[in-house]
Amino acid sequence: MAFPSLSIGDLKVKTPIIQGGMGVGISLSGLASAVAAAGGIGVIAAAGIGMGRPGYATDFVRTNNDALRDEIRAARAKSDGPLGVNIMVALTNYAELVSTAMREGVEAVISGAGLPLDMPSLLPEGCRTKLIPIVSSARAAAILCRKWLSRFGRTPDAFVVEGPMAGGHLGFKPEDILDSGHSLETVVPQVIEAVGAYRGPDGKPIPVIAAGGVYTGADILKYLRMGAAGVQMGTRFVATDECDADMAFKQTYIDAREEDIAIIKSPVGLPGRAIINNFIRAVQRGEKIPKVCPFNCTHNCDGTTAPYCIMLALMNAKKGLLDHGFAFAGQNAWRVQEIVSVKRLMESLEAEYDAAVAAGA
């Protein structure tokens, strides 16, 4: 059987898959357009999107806005499928990036790394962009529903529920990451129940998207049977031909062993999951990595005390310079064995889904 479709208000998506937004150059127009063409929602990540462009250090806001605009237009030129933009609430230029994405008419803005309490205020009248917060608890989802209703007379169009097996920055306390009470299997039903008391802007139940550790078609079936409307996947899409990262970055996933994937403390004050390498080991030994920070990109990073600039480290990794940075990755990254096309990946996920259905999984 074919994948079920995903509906978010009047947005109809062929497959129930949203590609995770992976910042600082990992998911740009190349990956997002390929996923959109293959039937999912392709997502461009806005964090650090302008790095490497002339003027980035001196005109941080304008350069990022221009880069986001250009990437959206480049993706549109390659595919007419649905596009989203992932924009971290913690970014100091969050409002400007959201406005740019909406002005370009993307189908969805997806926001985590903080609660997007003010996002509806940035939505122009008549704009059909879907507003999708990322949460890690039922409490956070309920708070957003209440606050948005009280202040803006509307609720989110959908929620992405991110569990502790995700890559990158995590919305959990370090001690909660391995606690089964915070697992995605536990939190997804809790969020579905919490938002069940509300209706989306279209008057229908608010869709809940499961994210963080979703790896196979059988995983997709599991969360759909729990009541999720779809899933968000990041790690699997790194190991694709169309991923915008350098080949050396992708190779770190193929080479990674299970024990290489660990939780680190990020300069932004959050735990993050990464593939341990010599750069991270040097930081863990207490070696300060000299840096210059001509811009203040996040609200919660103190450039005077941070051991390194995470934006620069991630951009170096994206370029394949792994001696000067590191790769964020989901807990299942060690399972990646080869680099394939997005089309082939989507076909394999559907085949796995079909097999799980047939097996009565």
Q: What percent of the chain has pLDDT over 70?
A: 92
Residues 276 and 240 in one domain: no
Based on the fold, state whether residues 131 and 185 are members of the same structural domain.
yes
What is the enclosing helix (H) or strand (E) of 231?
A: strand 230-233
Q: Is residue 145 part of a domain?
A: yes
Kind and range of the H or E run holding 355: helix 342-358
Query: Cβ contacts of residue 288 below 8 Å, gap of 6+?
Result: 307, 308
Q: What is the pLDDT of residue 17?
A: 98
* 330 domain-assigned: no
Greatest Cα pair distance, the chain, in angstroms, is 58
Residues 222 and 96 both lie in one domain: yes
Ranges of residues in the chain whose predicted pLDDT is under 70: 1, 55-58, 60, 288-308, 361
Do residues 169 and 276 share a domain?
A: no
Shortest CA distance to 109 belongs to which of 50, 60, 28, 43? 43
The answer to whether position 332 is within a domain reads no
284 lies in the same domain as 348: no
The pLDDT value recorded for residue 304 is: 60
pLDDT in tens, 138-172: 999 999 999 999 999 999 999 999 998 998 878 77
Question: Are both 263 and 115 inside the same structural domain?
Answer: no
Let me know whether 146 and 58 are in one domain. yes
Q: Are residues 228 and 261 in the same domain?
A: no
Q: Indicate the DSSP class of residue 121.
A: G
Query: In 3D, which of 10, 12, 5, 160 has the Cα closest to residue 87?
Result: 160
Is 136 domain-assigned?
Answer: yes
**Sequential DSSP letters for 133-183:** EEESSHHHHHHHHHHHHHHHS---S-EEEE-TT-SEE-SS-GGGTT-GGGS
Q: Is residue 329 part of a domain?
A: no
Same-domain status, 205 and 272? no
Phi, psi of 274 (to 5 degrees): -145, 170
Predicted structure pTM score: 0.92
Length of the chain, please?
361
Indicate whether 12 and 84 sit together in one domain.
yes
Report the C-alpha gap between 215 and 316 in whole angstroms: 26
Indicate if 52 and 197 belong to the same structural domain.
Answer: yes
User: Could you tell me the residue range of the domain that residue 307 belongs to?
Assistant: 247-324
* DSSP 8-class letter at 122: G
Output the pLDDT for position 307. 67
Q: Total structural domains in the chain?
A: 2
pLDDT of residue 195: 96
Residues 308 and 185 in one domain: no
- How far apart are alpha carbons 357 and 188 in whole angstroms? 21
**Is residue 331 assigned to a domain?**
no
Whole-angstrom Cα distance, residue 307 to residue 309? 7
Domain containing residue 166: CATH number: 3.20.20.70
- For residue 344, tell me if it sits in a domain: yes
pLDDT at 305: 65
CB-count burial class (<10 Å; 0-12, 13-18, 19+) for 181: exposed
Q: Residue 120's pLDDT is what?
A: 95
175 occurs within a structural domain: yes
